[in-house]
Structure 1
Amino acid sequence: MPDGVVLTRVDDRALAALSDAVSPAGILAVCRSIDVPLGEALVGGFVAVCADVNDPGNAGTVIRCADAAGAGGVVLAGRAVDLHNPKTIRASAGSAFHLPVAVEPDARAAVLAAKSAGFRVLATTATGRVDLFDAAPLLQQPVAWLFGNEAHGLDPDLLALADDEVAIPIRGRAESLNLSTAAALCLYESARARR
């Protein structure tokens, strides 16, 4: 046991009362906040900026995908879900603890900070002029992927700040993709282009 860590054993009833999980894993911890200042998440060759993403499963999965793809960080911007929501943390599968994640209540400020840090902001839209599978030349430079709300997409004022709009081609009859699936595709295309 590391120095300074206090271990307290509790019975199953107390553990259930302390956890929001239906079937607690058997251990709980009180930890410091894990979010970092905005500048610390805007690093590396590509990052994810989630604007007004309010589903904790989606937010956590984007963090997990960003980590797996090798992104420099993630920003939860605007009216995004709480990073510390237990469902967000669980969906990140541990990635929230080792990938820089910033929380910025002002989505516009997050996008402008990404631009100031040297990132080209690419918004994902159904009608984007750039096809994701033709975007490799854009993805070889530092990119901040801008993902919008699950139900409403990106706010038009925020979309106007993007340098380009990228569309993920849908070859079948599906109307759209889930936010975290779309993010995974975009993040891995960035990783592939920079390889």
Structure 2
Amino acid sequence: MTIKSISSRDNPLYKELKHLAASSQARRKAGRTLLDGVHLCEAYLEKVGLPPLCIVGETAMLNGEVIVIVQQCSGTATQCIVLPDALFHALSQVEHGVDLLFVIDTPDLPTPPRLTQSAVLLDKVQDPGNFGSIVRSAAAAGIKQVFCSAGTTFAWSPKVMRAGMGAHFLLEIFEGVDLSDLLGRSDIPVIATSSHAEKQLYELDLRQPVAWLFGHEGQGVTDDLLARATHRISIPHLGDIESLNVAASSAVCFFEQVRQQTSR
């Protein structure tokens, strides 16, 4: 097993990694991001393959799960690096985790010409936890595509990746999409959620592919996109709460579709 050891904060590669860990702009420019922890790294190996770079803290080299992962990476094109714990912790945003990181290339996919299969459209969803939860629910519901408008949080940020729990590797995620233009090229119904809509989710026939449109945590879906949706629906609830969190709303919608598609 060949692993390079870095012990200096002034090492050029370490400086590059610190910049990547700290800056969303740097991640976008480099087309790379960080996967933090055993679960995400295992998911990447299983669903995608070997990463360009594997980084391990010294103490984590005593962990059996980490050893297995490092063995998979070493002896391949993957560069494996071990860091003193203090240097590793300056890269990681996880407290009390297992000190393992992958640096991976982030996909840059061309937007498909038309909407033809069940998909999720996100209009300026900004909270990383919400985004990660939405894509995790979407993947669990068998949805394959996610389209993100400009102003939506970066899909491949470490916080979003942790919340997604590996769902990213099951999805095609398109960023910077003109959703208005995409809605004009949809071959399937587009369903937008709105707390003010009169039609309820459970009135719809969801046995066919649909595109789910969800909006900003505070303002919701913008008026121009709302006007272009095939259906505008609300989710009924009994408590004295105006609306559900966007991640909760999406899960309810996705699994009502699953229920209808799997019921006899």
**8 Å contact from structure 1 (residues 77, 110) kept in 2:** no
Cα 1:41–1:85 change in 2 (3 A) is farther
**8 Å contact from structure 1 (residues 15, 24) kept in 2:** no
Residue 127 (str. 1) matches residue 199 (str. 2): no
**8 Å contact from structure 2 (residues 190, 210) kept in 1:** yes
Return the index of the structure with the highest Cα Rg.
2
Q: How many aligned residue pairs are there? A: 189
5 Å-filtered alignment, 1:55-94, equals: 55-94=127-166
Report the Cα offset of residue 107 of structure 1.
2.9
Report the Cα offset of residue 158 of structure 1.
1.2
Cα 1:179–1:35 change in 2 (3 A) is farther
5 Å-filtered alignment, 1:10-159, equals: 10-39=83-112, 42=115, 44=117, 46-113=118-185, 115=186, 118-135=187-204, 137=205, 139-159=206-226
Cα 1:59–1:35 change in 2 (3 A) is farther
TM-score in terms of structure 2 length = 0.67
Report the Cα offset of residue 154 of structure 1.
1.1
Secondary structure of the 1:19 match is coil
Report the Cα offset of residue 28 of structure 1.
0.9
4+ runs deviating over 4 angstroms: 40-43
Q: Which 5+ residue runs of structure 1 have no aligned equivalent?
A: none
> Once the two structures are superposed, what CA deviation does each residue of 1:84-105 show, in whole Å capped at 9, x if it has no partner?
1111111101101222211134
Q: Which 5+ residue runs of structure 2 have no aligned equivalent?
A: 1-71
Report the Cα offset of residue 110 of structure 1.
3.6
**8 Å contact from structure 1 (residues 83, 89) kept in 2:** yes
Number of the residue aligned with 2:38: none
Cα 1:87–1:61 change in 2 (3 A) is same
TM-score in terms of structure 1 length = 0.89
**8 Å contact from structure 2 (residues 144, 170) kept in 1:** no
* RMSD of equivalent CA atoms: 1.9
Number of the residue aligned with 2:232: 165
Give, in whole Å, the separation in 2 of the partners of 1:75 and 1:20: 27
One-letter amino acid of the counterpart of residue 191, structure 1: V
**8 Å contact from structure 1 (residues 123, 146) kept in 2:** yes
Q: Which moved more, 1:171-180 or 1:100-109?
A: 100-109
Give, in whole Å, the separation in 2 of the partners of 1:188 and 1:41: 24
Q: Which moved more, 1:166-175 or 1:178-187?
A: 166-175
Give, in whole Å, the separation in 2 of the partners of 1:179 and 1:39: 25
Cα 1:31–1:156 change in 2 (3 A) is same
Secondary structure of the 2:202 match is helix
Report the Cα offset of residue 141 of structure 1.
2.2
Q: Which moved more, 1:6-15 or 1:100-109?
A: 100-109
Report the Cα offset of residue 40 of structure 1.
9.2
Report the Cα offset of residue 24 of structure 1.
4.4
Secondary structure of the 1:159 match is helix
Secondary structure of the 1:172 match is coil
